Amino acid sequence: NAGVTQTPKFRVLKTGQSMTLLCAQDMNHEYMYWYRQDPGMGLRLIHYSVGEGTTAKGEVPDGYNVSRLKKQNFLLGLESAAPSQTSVYFCASSKERPRYTFGSGTRLTVV
């Protein structure tokens, strides 16, 4: 019973590099979300999905792309990383009502 698993937990990227963050949930949840959290701030919604094959933009989608090819996985991509994308990234999922289950986060540093 893993819940929401985020991979990797830590990563350092050089400016211009690309990477994909993986979020996997084993609770058969329909809804999945990607947030970022900068120091001293609350969480900001990047992209979300209301079901397999669907994605939608959140508050701060620029510079990110997402895919939900399988119900249990939600991928967040950075095509060309920038220092402004240094942040902690949280994935969450929910089945009904926004009773989210969050992952433990991915700490990304872009140098």
Partner 1 sequence: DAKTTQPTSMDCAEGRAANLPCNHSTISGNEYVYWYRQIHSQGPQYIIHGLKNNETNEMASLIITEDRKSSTLILPHATLRDTAVYYCIRGGGATNKLIFGTGTLLAVQP
Q: How far is the CB of 59 from partner 1 (least distance, A)?
A: 7
3-state secondary structure of 84: helix
88 contacts partner 1 (rule: CB under 8 A): yes
Are 87 and 37 in contact by the 8 Å Cβ rule? The answer is: yes
CA separation for the pair 1, 4 (Å, rounded): 9
111 contacts partner 1 (rule: CB under 8 A): no
Encoded tokens for 103: 């992952």
CA separation for the pair 69, 84 (Å, rounded): 28
3-state secondary structure of 83: helix
Q: Mask 9-48, x = binds partner 1 (CB under 8 A)?
A: ----------------------x-x-x-----xxxxx--x
By CB under 8 A, name the one of 11, 17, 58, 65 that touches partner 1: 58
Give residues in contact with partner 1 (CB under 8 A): 4, 31, 33, 35, 41-45, 48, 50, 56, 58-59, 88, 90, 92, 94, 96-105
